[in-house]
Chains A and B, each alone.
Chain A
Amino acid sequence: MDKDIKKKSTTPRGKSNAKKIPLDKIFQAITFTACLGVILLLGFIIFKLFMESSLSVDKFGFKFITSMEWDPVNGEFGAGAYIFGTIVSSLIAILIATPVSVGIALYLTEIAPPWLSTPVGFLVELLAAIPSVIYGLWGIFVFVPFIRQYIQKPIGDLFGWIPLFSGPPLGIGMLSAGLILAIMIIPIITAISRDIISSVPTLQREGAMALGATRWEVIKYATLPFAKSGILGGIILGMGRALGETMAVTMVIGNRPEIKASLFAPAHSMAAVIANEFTEATDDIYLSALIEVGLLLFLVTFIMNGLARFFIWSVARGPKGGIRQ
């Protein structure tokens, strides 16, 4: 008896456990499966989009991108007007959001004291938490009337002869869509720029200050050159978000598939046409054309995300060359 007990107690506990179910392996396998599942999910999305749009890709080919004709009755589809609307509204958004966001990021990281930058930074982040349908609602009833009254009317009166600002002040249209998109992507670009700017080594700033630079000169000669490719990454990420934004855009852009020189004119966008027409698409070719619009949208945002990650990563990795190499 005694011998038995002694023998049992000297056996390492791990050994007797190891002969049971290999829980360690099973747990690792489960987590690994989850990873595989995520990869397969993206693969399946890409596969499905290509598959289901093939009808339209085969029939219209490259003309799909350039043609303006979107005629469900006769089965002729070209997404030119939608692509134009998406690109122009996103460009307006980027042109406005970039300087504002970089300004905010610089102010919060370089100028403002912590007791101010923390709550203000929090408020800017809150902009990202507001659902896009609420931006749309606010856009329709508050923002668009404001734009019509205080931006489009005065500009139209003064510069109406320039094609860019011609046409009646409808409020709804390309300009409003671009401006709302700008508001929506400001928190994204700001967040990334803040991260990047605060990762600039303090030595850089101190070096510039020691040479007698003013705060702006520190930013101009030490901070921004170091952070610029990361900020570029943030801008591209914001652009990707703007391209795919659906609800707010469809509520204020006017949903008219036309290409006009005027920023005041109603337009349409790729995401908006999918949202508006997808559930009404009855024949296969119509559905397939809409899926091709989705595929294009997906591919563009996919590439932009890759680019953005690369730029952000290239800053986060730190500088190349110099004495540290």
Chain B
Amino acid sequence: MSELQSQYAKRYKSRKFINYIMITIMLLSTLLALIPLFSILTHIGISGIKALNLQFITNLPAPVGEPGGGMGNALVGTLVLVSLAALMGIPVGVLTAIYLSEYQQVGLFPSTVRFVADSLLGIPSIVVGIFVYLIIVLPMKSFSALAGGVALGIMLIPIVIRGTEGMLKMVPDSLREAALALGMRKWRVIVSIVLPTAIKGIITTIMLGIARVAGETAPLLLTAFGNHFWSTKLDQPIGALPLQIFNYAISPFDEWHNQAWAGSLLLILVVLILSIIARLATRGNKLN
């Protein structure tokens, strides 16, 4: 009996030991994933702050050796591109989500739409670039801001669809029923009851989506192309922050490398602020 007991005690010890080992491994893997995050953020903070100043935000890029260059045009370019993308992606995305959530939730057609949206979400961004190059850049015979905006818009659509659909579904049915019972028409119910109820969540989704496409580089290489001068013309090539960072990063000049870090600081501030606000907002706004 005592021998059996001691055997069990021994096995229990080894089981506990394995338990601790595995929990330690899990903890270590969590820490391991956070190392690159902190490394990236600190390096961008330290190297970026050195070159970041007011001139950097307002000036045009300067040739190598000349001080005082900036990324003003790239900043404006990113703003133009993202606005174009929003103009295209938000209406299409929100309307599609309304159909999926309010008109037909189950069936072959809505599942197809959801499948297509998921597929669009998974398309490599460079392939979107190829597509837009073929349908806009080739016929227009020029790289253009329009093409860049459309490429980003295509990437924004599925993000908005899936996010908005989720938010609309969180609106309780009792609200819709109450409105219908008061004699409202369905479109009125959607526009003045359902959408306003979910609007916080929808804006959050849109902000996350915009943060995501604002940092995209690959499709812009084939569409917006980049521009070292001020330009807001839609039919001309236009600069963009990520493009400029890429070009400076692969250049051989230290000065440009510093500018790339500063540009990254700017970009990551925009992206992180958008996503942090968005995520904090959703956390307080869970309807169910």
Contacts and interface: CB of A to CB of B under 8 A. Distances in A.
Classify chain B's interface size.
Answer: 35 or more
Contacts of A137: 245, 249, 260-261, 264
A49 B115 CA distance: 19
A107 B39 contact: no
A279 B185 CA distance: 52
B84 interface: no
Interface string B75-96: 0000000000000000110011
B268 A134 contact: yes
A274 B190 contact: no
A278 B219 CA distance: 11
Contacts of B99: 28, 31-32, 34-35
Interface in B158-207: 158, 161, 183, 185-187, 190-191
Nearest to A127: B37
B257 A141 contact: yes
A319 interface: no
Contacts of A122: 279
A88 B77 CA distance: 36
Given A27-B190, A34-B92, A294-B130, A133 B222 contact: no
Given A137-B261, A214-B19, A27 B187 contact: yes
Contact of B96 (A34, A106, A135, A297): A34
Contacts of A278: 129-130, 133, 221-222
A136 B37 contact: no
Contact of B34 (A124, A246, A251, A279): A124
Given A31-B96, A133-B215, A246 B44 contact: no
In this complex, the member of B100, B119, B120, B267 whose beta carbon has the largest number of chain A beta carbons within 10 angstroms is B119
Contact of B124 (A39, A136, A243): A243
Interface in A174-194: 183, 186, 190
A259 interface: no
Contact of B119 (A42, A100, A129): A42
Q: Is the interface of B mostly helix, strand, loop or mixed?
A: helix
Given A134-B245, A251-B250, A103 B124 contact: no
B39 A28 contact: no
Interface stretch (A64-72, A155-163, A201-209, A298-306): A298-306
B126 A124 contact: no
A43 to B, nearest CB: 9
Contact of B267 (A23, A35, A131, A240): A131
A314 to B, nearest CB: 15
Interface string B89-123: 00110011011101100000110110111111111
Contacts of A143: 36, 39
Nearest to A140: B249
B44 A279 contact: no
B64 interface: no
Interface of A: 13-14, 17, 23-24, 26-28, 30-35, 37-39, 41-42, 44-45, 48-49, 52, 99-101, 103-104, 106-108, 111, 120, 122-127, 129-138, 140-143, 183, 186, 190, 214-217, 219, 237, 240-241, 243-247, 251, 271, 274-275, 278-279, 290-291, 294, 297-298, 301-302, 304-306, 309
Given A39-B116, A275-B218, 11 more contacts: A28-B186, A38-B116, A39-B113, A41-B116, A42-B119, A48-B135, A124-B34, A134-B264, A243-B124, A244-B126, A279-B143
15 contacts: A32-B103, A39-B113, A42-B119, A49-B131, A108-B30, A127-B33, A130-B215, A137-B260, A141-B249, A143-B39, A215-B19, A243-B124, A246-B217, A279-B222, A309-B118
